[in-house]
Every structure is written in structure tokens, then in C-alpha cells.
């Protein structure tokens, strides 16, 4: 598969989050608690990574399915996993009309792929194959590690920044300016969130490209994304907190545009993704 330098991107983005975390921690209690917050961040990151599959599956009320219950999903995933030379993940279905799919799990050996009932009704088999190829590449590119850790760290940064409103610096001589403290408490969560979203957006483009190469059919995924854009608009998920925490894993933004602004969307614009896939298809066709 084409290399996207995911390790370098991940290290740079995680470094930015940790720097932001430590910068905020230096304001809280004059910096006396900075390592406490760092340890809490590490613990939360580990918990989110280790339990990412359980948390996302539970949020979507998904249930495991057998090959008899979902023969088309099994046939497609078995074929693509074999083509990639990787282990086949567990398969789940979420009982919701909102059309979507996601992959979760701490590594390729402990992964799950989930489709909603809505997406299984909306897409034909070719389009579903394109979607499942995308989700499998999230698993094989180890994107779940990145998104789980980024989400946990962004949450910690937000919590620490909010605490900065209530705790000043050390003594009166070294106490930060209250206006600066308030600005830090407001801007730090925004910065952490944007860092997390930039990871999600990058991974969506990468999974689109690698998934299309795995299936050998970029236009199938492009067609699926076009249907999903309309389908999620017609049947969005409610913006509940537990669903918001799982939204960045899904192939399409599951919420109404009014609920999540474009600037804060975890997903790139569908038009940009479709254009890239169509360009990839033209490139593949020119080689034949």
C-alpha cells in the first residue's frame, strides 16, 4: 500500500497536543500539578485505546453478526482481508436507520467493523464493497490507535484548560494576567479539538485512497459517498455526547450540518473526497 507517513504525522500532532497540555498545566497552581495532569492524560489515553472497540460499539448499540445473518458483509470482508493478507475483523450491525459504517479496535488483531442497518439498505453490493475496503484500511493502517489517543488527549486538554479558570498561578507576584488565563481556558480546548479533527480528516483521505486501491474500484466508493451524503442528511444521528465521541470513526459525518459546523467537522467535504477518488480512477485507467 502507498505510504502516507502516518507515523510522522501522528508524532507531530501528538507532540502539539502534549505541548498544549503541558503549557496549560504550567498555569494551574503555578505549575505544581503539571505532572499530575500529564499522568492523568496518559492513563486516559491508555483506557481509550484499550477499550475503543467496546466504547464505539456500545454507543451505536451494535450487535455481532454471524455469516448466516450477514452473508454479503462476510463475503466482502473475507475477500478483501485475504487480498490484503490480514486477519478478518469481527463484524457488527447497528440497529439504526442512519446510513454509516466505522471500524474500531486497538489493533488489527482486535478490530471490529460495523455497518448500520441504514447503510446496508442504501448501498448496492459494489458500493458496500467500496465502503468496507475503506474501513478495513482504517484497521490495517492502525488509524484507530491515532484517533482514540487523539480524542482522549483532546479531552484532557479541554478539562485542564477549564480548570485554569478556577486556579491561578502561584503567589501574587507570579500569578498570570486574568485576561490571559481566561483566553487560555477558551482557546486551548479549541486548539486541541482542531488538532484532533485534523487527524481524522487526514485519515479519511488516506483510507479512501488505500481502500480504493484494495478494492481496485475507486468509483464504487465515490458512488457510495455520494449516496451517504444524501442519506445522512435525510437520516442523521442525534448529537448525543456518546455518539459525538464515536463520530470521528464513521465514514460520513453522521450529524446535521446545523449541529456541527463545517469548521468543526471531523470529516473532509464529500465533494473533495469524491474528486480525489475520481482522479484516482482516471489514473488507474490510464495505466491499462
Active site residue ranges: 135
Q: What is the dihedral of CA 159, 162, 168, 174, to 10 degrees?
A: 80
Q: How many degrees, rounded to 5, is the angle at CA 196 between CA 154 and CA 53?
A: 85
DSSP 172: T
Structural element, H or E, at residue 119: helix 117-122
- What does the alpha-carbon distance between residue 62 and residue 54 come to, in Å, rounded to a whole number? 10
- What does the alpha-carbon distance between residue 256 and residue 270 come to, in Å, rounded to a whole number? 14
- What does the alpha-carbon distance between residue 247 and residue 267 come to, in Å, rounded to a whole number? 9
Other CB atoms within a 10 A radius of the CB of residue 222 amount to 22
* Cell 474501513 -> residue: 135
If we measure between CA atoms, which residue out of 134, 135, 148 comes closest to residue 196?
A: 148
Burial class (CB in 10 A: 0-12, 13-18, 19+), 183: exposed
Burial class (CB in 10 A: 0-12, 13-18, 19+), 51: middle
Amino acid at each position: 500500500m502507498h505510504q502516507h507517513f502516518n507515523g510522522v504525522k501522528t508524532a507531530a500532532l501528538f507532540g502539539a497536543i502534549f505541548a498544549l497540555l503541558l503549557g496549560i498545566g504550567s498555569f494551574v497552581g503555578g505549575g505544581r500539578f503539571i505532572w499530575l495532569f500529564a499522568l492523568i492524560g496518559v492513563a486516559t489515553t491508555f483506557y481509550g485505546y484499550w477499550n475503543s472497540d467496546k466504547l464505539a460499539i456500545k454507543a451505536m448499540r451494535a450487535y455481532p453478526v454471524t455469516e448466516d445473518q450477514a452473508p454479503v458483509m462476510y463475503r466482502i470482508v473475507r475477500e478483501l482481508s485475504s487480498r490484503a493478507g490480514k486477519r478478518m475483523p469481527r463484524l457488527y450491525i447497528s440497529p439504526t436507520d442512519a446510513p454509516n459504517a466505522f471500524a474500531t479496535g486497538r489493533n488489527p488483531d482486535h478490530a471490529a467493523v460495523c455497518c448500520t442497518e441504514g447503510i446496508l439498505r442504501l448501498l448496492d453490493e459494489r458500493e458496500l464493497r467500496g465502503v468496507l475496503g475503506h474501513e478495513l484500511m482504517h484497521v490495517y493502517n492502525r488509524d484507530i490507535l491515532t484517533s482514540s489517543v487523539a480524542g482522549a488527549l483532546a479531552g484532557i486538554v479541554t478539562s485542564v484548560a477549564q480548570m485554569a479558570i478556577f486556579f491561578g498561578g502561584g503567589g501574587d507576584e507570579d500569578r498570570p494576567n486574568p485576561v490571559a488565563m481566561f483566553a487560555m481556558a477558551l482557546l486551548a480546548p479549541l486548539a486541541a479539538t482542531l488538532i484532533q479533527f485534523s487527524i481524522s480528516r487526514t485519515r479519511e483521505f488516506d483510507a479512501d485512497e488505500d481502500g480504493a486501491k484494495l478494492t481496485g474500484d475507486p468509483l464504487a466508493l465515490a458512488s457510495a459517498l455520494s449516496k451517504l451524503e444524501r442519506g445522512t442528511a435525510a437520516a442523521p444521528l442525534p448529537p448525543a455526547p456518546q455518539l459525538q465521541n464515536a463520530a470521528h470513526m464513521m465514514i460520513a459525518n453522521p450529524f446535521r450540518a446545523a449541529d456541527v459546523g463545517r469548521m468543526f467537522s471531523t470529516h473532509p467535504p464529500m465533494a473533495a473526497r469524491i474528486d480525489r477518488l475520481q482522479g484516482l480512477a482516471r489514473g488507474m485507467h490510464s495505466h491499462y
